[in-house]
């Protein structure tokens, strides 16, 4: 438990180890004089999780417990509500009320603690920008079921064109995406471009599967890596991760099995335990499917605390700031282009304000939709001019 407390204090202080020595976490008044700032425990850390009382002023809250609660996703242990995909949604969460997803509470804790220690606050900037793309569908028509479906819908000419030339397939938008993303890379060299690749049986919600040894994917993998992109693992909707699966995945191409995003953003505590056991080091799943915002209540990457074992793991959770379909889908936020852009601006500004990591998720196949193509270009333009 001491390791967790020490890690959280340093995290709140943006890694300042010397300043962390001036912060105590104890209810013993005889020890308070040892520290410049002392936080009194609420008595729950390491025991039974309870919901934080966010009605209290920050200075009266156990900000160590609250931070552990949110970054461990302990709320998902004590609340059994899930959607049809087994996902914990914003509507189930304490955070789904009001505008709480718009304000990274843990980063607010950092500001209060740093001010109490007379430390300068970090200058506003994006520490890292992650432009990420899940390759759920490599091509729309260059597989049998997709081609037959296109023909039935009256798109025979488009199907034939796609079979003749992959660049005519409507889902194959990778060159367009690369062109847009490189505008940000030029302006912000700390930007990472990450494509998450499926390697699943291709059934049910994992459909369609594409052949990672096939010509189409090998051509794409070469193109992406030649242009500076990373290729990570897009883990199955159904299957549990294992070390052997990741080893097999990493041998297929220039694929990085240490980077993961769960398909459908379906990342339960069980799956995170499996990620740790399989040796995954970085996960990019942590956003709510139904509402964009700060699921972890921080804009910064943070090591996951297992809420069952109270272990500080080596798995780094990268907060997912915005996902494309969250904004538009009727069952989620159902925003117009204009409304979505304004909402995204607010979140992006918050990440910059707290010196955080901005992570966007746009799917390649969705870029054939004018809404998302226009919105994505506008968001990237905003980032490069802000």
Could you report the per-residue pLDDT of 189-215, keeping only the tens digit for each? 999 999 999 987 778 888 888 989 899
Strands 302-306 and 311-317, by their bridges, are antiparallel
Is 98 in contact with 160 (CB distance < 8 Å)? no
**Closest among 284, 344, 303 to 102, alpha carbons compared:** 344
Q: Distance between CA atoms of 250 and 219, rounded to whole angstroms?
A: 17
State residue 202's pLDDT score: 78
Q: Which helix (H) or strand (E) holds 278?
A: helix 269-278
Q: Read off the DSSP letter of residue 208.
A: P
State residue 241's pLDDT score: 67
CA triplet 263, 264, 266: central angle to 5 degrees?
A: 85
Q: Distance between CA atoms of 100 and 384, rounded to whole angstroms?
A: 27
Q: Which residues contact 148 (CB under 8 A, 6 or more apart)?
A: none
State residue 199's pLDDT score: 82
Q: Distance between CA atoms of 116 and 108, rounded to whole angstroms?
A: 13
Q: Distance between CA atoms of 95 and 98, rounded to whole angstroms?
A: 8
Pull the structure tokens for residue 71.
Answer: 């970054």
Q: Distance between CA atoms of 70 and 52, rounded to whole angstroms?
A: 9
**Closest among 265, 246, 241 to 256, alpha carbons compared:** 246
Question: With pLDDT > 90 as the criterion, what percentage of the chain qualifies?
Answer: 85
pLDDT at 244 over 70: no
Strands (E), 116-172: 128-135
Q: Distance between CA atoms of 263 and 126, rounded to whole angstroms?
A: 26
Pull the structure tokens for residue 358.
Answer: 């901005």
Task: Calculate the average pLDDT of the chain.
Answer: 94
Tokens 């070390």, located at residue? 243
pLDDT at 250 over 70: no
Lowest mean pLDDT among 41-50, 109-118, 301-310, 313-322: 41-50
Which whole number is the average pLDDT over 108-131?
97
Q: What are phi and psi of 35, to 5 degrees?
A: -125, 155
Q: In the structure, how many helices (H) and strands (E) does the chain have? A: 14, 11
Tokens 């304490």, located at residue? 94
**Closest among 355, 283, 314 to 127, alpha carbons compared:** 355
Question: With pLDDT > 70 as the criterion, what percentage of the chain qualifies?
Answer: 96
Count CB atoms within 10 A of the CB of residue 368.
15
Q: Which residues of 298-311 are buried (b: 16+ CB within 10 A; e: fewer)?
A: bbbbbebbbbeeee
259, HSE (Cβ side, Cα atoms, 13 Å)? 20
CA triplet 318, 323, 326: central angle to 5 degrees?
A: 135
10 Å CB burial of residue 96 (0-12, 13-18, 19+) is middle
Tokens 């994992």, located at residue? 206
State residue 386's pLDDT score: 84
State residue 380's pLDDT score: 98
Residue 29's pLDDT band (boundaries 50, 70, 90)?
very high
**Do you know the residue count of the chain?**
386
pLDDT at 50 over 80: yes
Tell me if the pTM is above 0.75: yes
State residue 185's pLDDT score: 98
pLDDT at 101 over 70: yes
State residue 243's pLDDT score: 64
Pull the structure tokens for residue 333.
Answer: 């936020």
Residue 239's pLDDT band (boundaries 50, 70, 90)?
confident
pLDDT at 249 over 80: no
**Closest among 340, 244, 249, 334 to 290, alpha carbons compared:** 334
Is 278 in contact with 48 (CB distance < 8 Å)? no
Count CB atoms within 10 A of the CB of residue 56.
11
Q: Distance between CA atoms of 112 and 108, rounded to whole angstroms?
A: 6
Which of residues 211 and 14 earns the better pLDDT score? 14
State residue 278's pLDDT score: 87
pLDDT at 252 over 70: no
State residue 255's pLDDT score: 80
């Amino acid at each position: 438990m001491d390791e967790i407390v020490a890690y959280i204090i340093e995290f709140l202080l943006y890694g300042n180890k010397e300043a962390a020595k001036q912060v105590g976490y104890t209810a013993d008044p005889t020890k308070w004089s040892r520290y410049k700032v002392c936080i009194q425990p609420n008595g729950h850390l390491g025991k039974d999780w309870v919901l934080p009382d966010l009605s209290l002023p920050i200075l009266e809250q156990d900000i160590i417990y609250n931070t552990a609660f949110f970054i461990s996703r302990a709320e998902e242990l004590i609340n059994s509500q899930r959607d049809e995909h087994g996902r914990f949604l914003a509507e189930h969460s304490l955070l789904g009320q009001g505008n709480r997803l718009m304000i990274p509470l843990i980063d607010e804790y950092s500001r209060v603690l740093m001010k109490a220690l007379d430390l300068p606050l970090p200058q506003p900037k994006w520490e890292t920008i992650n432009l990420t793309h899940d390759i759920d569908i490599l091509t729309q028509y260059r597989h049998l079921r997709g081609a037959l479906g296109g023909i039935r819908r009256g798109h025979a000419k488009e199907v034939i064109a796609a079979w003749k030339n992959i660049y005519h397939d409507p889902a194959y938008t990778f060159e367009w995406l690369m062109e847009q993303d490189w505008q940000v890379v030029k302006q912000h060299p700390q930007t990472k471009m990450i494509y998450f690749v499926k390697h699943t049986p291709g059934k049910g919600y994992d459909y369609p599967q594409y052949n990672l040894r096939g010509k189409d994917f090998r051509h794409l993998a070469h193109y992406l890596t030649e242009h500076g992109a990373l290729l990570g693992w897009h883990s199955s909707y159904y299957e549990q991760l294992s070390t052997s699966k990741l080893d097999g995945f990493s041998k297929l191409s220039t694929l990085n099995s240490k980077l993961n995003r769960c398909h459908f953003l379906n990342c339960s505590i069980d799956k995170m335990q499996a990620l740790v056991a399989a040796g995954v080091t970085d996960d990019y799943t942590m956003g709510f499917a139904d509402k964009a915002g700060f699921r972890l209540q921080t804009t910064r990457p943070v090591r996951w605390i297992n809420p069952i074992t109270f272990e500080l793991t080596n798995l780094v959770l990268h907060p997912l700031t915005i996902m494309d379909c969250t904004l538009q889908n009727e069952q989620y936020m159902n925003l117009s282009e204009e409304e979505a852009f304004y909402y995204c601006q607010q979140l992006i500004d918050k990440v910059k304000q707290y010196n955080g990591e901005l992570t966007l998720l746009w799917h390649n196949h969705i870029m054939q939709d004018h809404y998302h193509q226009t919105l994505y270009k506008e968001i990237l333009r905003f980032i490069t001019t802000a």
